[in-house]
Amino acid sequence: MPQVQVAQEITNREQIKNHLIISLCLTYILSFFIHSFVVEVFLSFLSVIAFLISLYSAKLIPRLLSLMMFSSGIIIMISKGIDFHELSNGITANLPLLTLVILVPLLAIPLKLEGYFQTVEYYLKKVINDSGKLFGGISFLIFCLGPILNLGSIRLLHETIKDMKLPSFLLAKSYLVGFSTVILWSPYFASVALVLYYLNVPVSEYLPLGLSLAFIQLLVGNILFRIYIKQKCPTELATIKLNHREFPIEQEQKKKVLQLCVTLIFLMGTIFFFEHLTKWPMMLLVSLISIIYPLIWCTIKKRWVPAKKSFADFRNHSLPNMNNETILFISAGLFGKALTGTQFSNELRTALNQLAGISFFLFTVTIIGVVVLLCFIGIHQIVVITALATQMDPYVIGTTPPVIALLLMVSWSISAVLSPVNPLNLLVSGSVQRTGLSVGFKWNGLYLLTMFVIGVLYVNLIH
């Protein structure tokens, strides 16, 4: 009986936290339209409560790091003699980004209910005996779905194709090559949203740069895999018969692919259209669409009954896994705001300006190296990138904000693949049952080195 009571208490605590997180997201959206001191106070209060509750369930390293940043931020701000408004702004600084990260998985609901992943399985099985096409298909699918589904694209795709018994190296390489390109360009992804937010760069100005480099990296990743396959003698891919399960006819599958492409283009186009029309922040628009699109789809398709289960899964499974992100975003935003105007901030900015003055090439190499090193030893990119983005003045450095944004994106992408404690690396290594060092360094080391070289050259070229 006591064990049952303990389990029930844990469940109740999780439910309270889930509803609190959802309330926090909705209150942030409301605060954009209603400028009120009461709303500001309530939003700050919800942020602190969400931070404290999520802190209890977070992993050790993010917990310690977040505690240090949050407490340091409070102490620094008090020592600076700031008022409540400035403190509130610090606590809620990263709420736009946190709201985006939490709500974007809702976009997966219509995609799953439409049966698009069954079509994905069908076409991948058709090229099961051609490892090059299979790698290209998986990496390109992640490239297309990652902007909408975030890390959920890897989870859903792996669940779809795990019965195909593909070699671990092929899955690890294709997942990481595909998703590392998403980090470079997608306005739905945390990396791009965070940097564009702090550097005040419109998506329309950054997208051509990020998307161009992402295509180059995707192409290079596929070329390197084909070279790898020719040099090695991989385990033969299992032969999978297409009648392993019931599939709709070929014509129906082609129709599904077309529908999926139209859906993805529609979602991306909607963001850019409304950003141009309303001039609202991109992260707010993405969050709104993440809520509105599934609701409209369920209404038009009359699929509320199956959708209820998907919404419940989101509440009961997706939200409880957001503890680390919640505490890191809130504490990093506060800490970044607190550093502004301090002696450390001025010295860091001076050092970066002097380094760029000596050589912009040396500056780019150093930034990437510092981010990768700090992230490899366990410091999350949110922390490192926030500290750098808030202290950089692109025009003083001698370049433009989109160039600095791309430099930070390259740094984030490389470190996400390499670091064995990064969520991307952890997800892939767990999926293929190999160590983080194996999937990041051993199987993708050459790709990361190529990313580094191409990234540095590309940034210096557009500089």
Distance CA 30, CA 305 (A): 28
Mean pLDDT, residues 325-348 taken together? 82
Mean pLDDT, residues 162-167 taken together? 82
- Hey, which of 155-159, 289-293, 458-462 has the most confident mean pLDDT? 458-462
The dihedral of CA 325, 330, 336, 342: what is its sign?
Answer: negative
Taking only the tens place, the pLDDT of each residue in 397-454 is: 989 999 999 999 999 999 999 988 777 887 788 888 888 888 998 899 999 999 999 9
Split at pLDDT 50, 70, 90, the class of 193 is confident
Task: Give the amino acid at 138.
Answer: I
The encoded tokens of residue 120 equal: 């994905």
The encoded tokens of residue 393 equal: 């003045």
CA terminus-to-terminus distance, the chain: 66
Residue 61 to residues 58, 67, 421, 425: CA-CA distances in angstroms? 9, 10, 9, 16
What lies within 8 Å, CB to CB, of 276 at 6+ separation is 204
The encoded tokens of residue 121 equal: 């399985």
Distance CA 233, CA 221 (A): 19
- The chain-wide mean pLDDT, for the chain, equals 85
Helices assigned H by DSSP within 359-400: 360-376, 381-391, 394-397
% of the chain at pLDDT higher than 70: 94
Distance CA 38, CA 232 (A): 64
For residue 245, is pLDDT > 70?
A: no
Do the beta carbons of residue 371 and residue 415 sit within 8 Å? yes
Place of tokens 């192409």: 219
Please tell me the least confidently modeled range out of 96-110, 133-147, 348-362.
96-110
Mean pLDDT, residues 306-312 taken together? 88
Taking only the tens place, the pLDDT of each residue in 336-347 is: 888 777 777 778
In this prediction, residue 16 carries a pLDDT of 83
Task: Tell me how long the chain is.
Answer: 463
Do the beta carbons of residue 113 and residue 307 sit within 8 Å? yes
How many C-alpha atoms does 362 have within 13 Å on its Cβ side? 9
In this prediction, residue 361 carries a pLDDT of 95
Taking only the tens place, the pLDDT of each residue in 258-286 is: 888 888 888 888 888 888 888 888 778 88
Please tell me the least confidently modeled range out of 128-137, 150-159, 281-290, 304-313.
150-159
Split at pLDDT 50, 70, 90, the class of 6 is very low
Q: Which residue in 10, 26, 203 sits closest to 102, CA to CA?
A: 26
* Residue that wins the pLDDT comparison between 384 and 379: 384
Distance CA 239, CA 88 (A): 59
Place of tokens 């993440």: 290
The encoded tokens of residue 109 equal: 């609901």
Residue 320 burial class via C-beta count within 10 angstroms: exposed 0-12, middle 13-18, buried 19 and up: middle
In this prediction, residue 242 carries a pLDDT of 43
Q: Which residue in 106, 184, 194, 190 sits closest to 143, CA to CA?
A: 184
For residue 238, is pLDDT > 80?
A: no
Place of tokens 């970066």: 352
Give one DSSP letter per residue of 261-289, joined into a string: HHHHHHHHHHHHHHHHHH---HHHHHHHH
Residue 267 to residues 66, 107, 451: CA-CA distances in angstroms? 34, 9, 28
Domain ranges of the chain: 2-103, 105-462
Please tell me the least confidently modeled range out of 104-118, 227-241, 300-314, 317-331.
227-241
